[in-house]
Amino acid sequence: MANKANKVDIIIIGAGIAGISSSYYIQKNFPHLKYKIIEARNDLGGTWDQMTFPGVRSDTDMYTYGYSFNPWPGSIIGMGKEIKQYQVDTAEKFNIKENILFNTHVKSLSWKNKTWITKTSKETFHSQYVVCCTGSRDYREPNFPKFKDEDKFKGEIVHTQTWGKTRFKGKDVALIGSGCTAVTMTPAIVKEAKSVTLVQRSPAWIVNVDGSEKSNRLYKTFETLIDYAYSRVFKKHYKKKVLSQYSNYYSHDNIPSYDYWNQRPACSLDNDYFESIKSNKVTVEHSGISNWEKNGLKLLNGKSIKCDLAIMATGLNAQLLGGIDILVNDKKVNLNKTSWYRGMMFSGIPNLFAHTGYINFSWTARCEIVSERICKTIKYMQKNSYTNCVPKYKGEKSKPAIEANYVLRSIDKFPNRSYKFDNANYLNEYIQFKMSKINDGVLNFQ
Ligand SMILES: Cc1cc2nc3c(=O)[nH]c(=O)nc-3n(C[C@H](O)[C@H](O)[C@H](O)COP(=O)(O)OP(=O)(O)OC[C@H]3O[C@@H](n4cnc5c(N)ncnc54)[C@H](O)[C@@H]3O)c2cc1C
């Protein structure tokens, strides 16, 4: 049994963008409620604390990625360290930091007798509500494809998610992957590495961002969403437009096989990627990998790539609710048997809210509207003296949100249905969250 000191009203799990956003809105709406943030890492920032590989930065504009309640003070694209510092500053400014319990891993969540019991690596907490701000990926295991004969390779292999103190200066580097991470990393390592071979099995869409662009939140919101809608409706025309705009880059061997926006496009900043691959130190290979060799990699196209450092920019493994075991009245929940209610709750799981982001727009923007909706739901419950709310199993059969490999690989871990969750339309969700009733017939209250 937890002791009295471990009783709070709300447990928030995770101290990244979502955790800080949730805390801000909870404090603002319920100054009398006690909440605690439980964070496995030893600092806040989530993604931006963990990702330390060279060049790490945002791909979406910081006007919309910054919090509306504490606008981003820097330029249009934020570097990883700057985004982390911005979160630290925000948490300090709004007295959020003092509510965080660091170095504490949530092991399980169990709903019993109208209470959530949160078991952590240190203490147990009792609360009426839980807000999961655990991000979208497995923090412990990134996607690390295995190839034959790894034990024969004499060099070092590192994944970008666990970069640590990896050194690349003076080394022959193979950078495996073609997504956002590889695109931001290439210019950051080219100067100091001896050589860089980019191993790209399937080319990605890459566009340029002008780092000196000055804008504002409202303009960027409409610009991004109109551009997305245009690219979806006029797929062929949009593809042609991008190909002609970047005709110096795209040629027969590097045109992506998928439509623009089927996956989030990668961003070059002030043409840094496009310029860096012109360096005579850089070679681009459009091939998969066959196996490791003593001095490097053998590609499926038959070429051998010499390297003493192989960087796997091969992405993440998607994960919901931080992989935490969830029990409702002693029965373990299988998320794949649930329905995702408005992308913020799960059928059959009472009083548990969770954040996720957009595929085509800034994550923070969704965190804020979901945080407000959570507060509205709690207010509605308080007003009507309800203690529980739980969504019904209802909605459309789930489709992959995006054709990215990390989503397709994990599809059986996600809810099999979803109700009114539009992860590509911020404006629609913004209106829905503001206008629709809390008691919408799908949420059951007791
Ligand atoms: C390199 C990179 C660049 C990106 N760029 C963009 C971008 O430009 N725009 C965009 O919108 N999105 C981007 N993203 C997505 C990014 O993950 C989100 O924008 C956002 O940072 C997610 O915030 P979050 O708070 O939801 O989750 P996270 O940042 O993942 O934080 C989750 C926190 O929960 C903690 N946690 C998890 N499980 C437990 C547990 N069991 N117990 C205790 N604590 C736990 C973790 O330690 C972590 O601190 C990017 C992602 C990466 C990896």
pLDDT at 399: 74
Number of residues assigned to the chain: 446
In whole angstroms, what is the distance from residue 193 CA to residue 362 CA?
Answer: 32
Domain end residue (candidates: 279, 312, 345):
312
Each residue of 87-140: pLDDT tens digit? 999 999 999 999 999 999 999 999 999 999 999 999 999 999 999 999 999 999
Could you tell me the sign of the dihedral formed by the alpha carbons of 94, 95, 99, 104, in that order? Answer: positive
- In a shared domain, residues 303 and 329: no
Q: In angstroms, what is the span from residue 287 Cα to ligand 1's centroid?
A: 30
Q: Whose CA is nearest to atom 16 of ligand 1?
A: 47
Question: What's the domain range around 51?
Answer: 5-140+317-445
Q: For residue 145, is it within any domain?
A: no
Residue 174, ligand 1, Cβ within 6 A = no
- In a shared domain, residues 109 and 165: no
Each residue of 352-363: pLDDT tens digit? 999 999 989 999
Domain end residue (candidates: 312, 331, 349):
312
Q: In angstroms, what is the span from residue 17 Cα to ligand 1's centroid?
A: 7
Residue 134, ligand 1, Cβ within 6 A = yes
> H-type helices in 6-126, by residue range?
17-29, 47-50, 62-65, 80-93
> Could you give the 3-state DSSP secondary structure of residue 2?
coil
Residue to mutate, 134, 160, 316, ligand 1, most ligand atoms under 8 Å from C-beta: 134
- In a shared domain, residues 156 and 280: yes
pLDDT at 412: 80
What angle, 0 to 180 degrees and rounded to 10, lies between the N-to-C axes of helices 217-233 and 235-245?
110
pLDDT at 220: 96
Q: Which two tokens stand for residue 150?
A: 């790894």
* Ligand 1, atom nearest to 38 Cα: 43
Q: Which residues of the chain have pLDDT under 50?
A: 1-3
Residue 15, ligand 1, Cβ within 6 A = yes
438, amino acid identity: I
Q: For residue 249, is it within any domain?
A: yes
- In a shared domain, residues 39 and 131: yes
- In a shared domain, residues 160 and 229: yes
Report the b/e string of 160-188 with b at 16+ CB within 10 A. bbbbeebebeebbbbbbbbbbbbbbbbbb
Instruction: For residue 71, count CB atoms less than 10 angstroms from its CB and return exposed for 0-12, middle for 13-18, buried for 19 or more.
Output: exposed
Count of domains forming the chain: 2
- In a shared domain, residues 427 and 389: yes
Residue 46, ligand 1, Cβ within 6 A = yes
Question: Whole-angstrom distance between the N-terminal and C-terminal Cα of the chain?
Answer: 25
- In a shared domain, residues 63 and 91: yes
- In a shared domain, residues 186 and 228: yes
Could you tell me the sign of the dihedral formed by the alpha carbons of 158, 162, 167, 170, in that order? Answer: positive
Q: Whose CA is nearest to atom 22 of ligand 1?
A: 135
- In a shared domain, residues 174 and 264: yes
Residue from 437, 446, 407 nearest 423 by CA: 407
pLDDT at 404: 67
- In a shared domain, residues 292 and 322: no
Residue 312, ligand 1, Cβ within 6 A = no
* Ligand 1, atom nearest to 120 Cα: 42
User: Residue 272 sits in a domain of what CATH number?
Assistant: 3.50.50.60
pLDDT at 2: 42
pLDDT at 3: 47
Q: For residue 368, is it within any domain?
A: yes
- In a shared domain, residues 302 and 404: no
Domain end residue (candidates: 312, 345, 367):
312
* Ligand 1, atom nearest to 161 Cα: 53
- In a shared domain, residues 298 and 398: no
Residue 79, ligand 1, Cβ within 6 A = no
Residue from 203, 182, 208, 180 nearest 264 by CA: 180
pTM above 0.85?
yes
Residue 60, ligand 1, Cβ within 6 A = yes
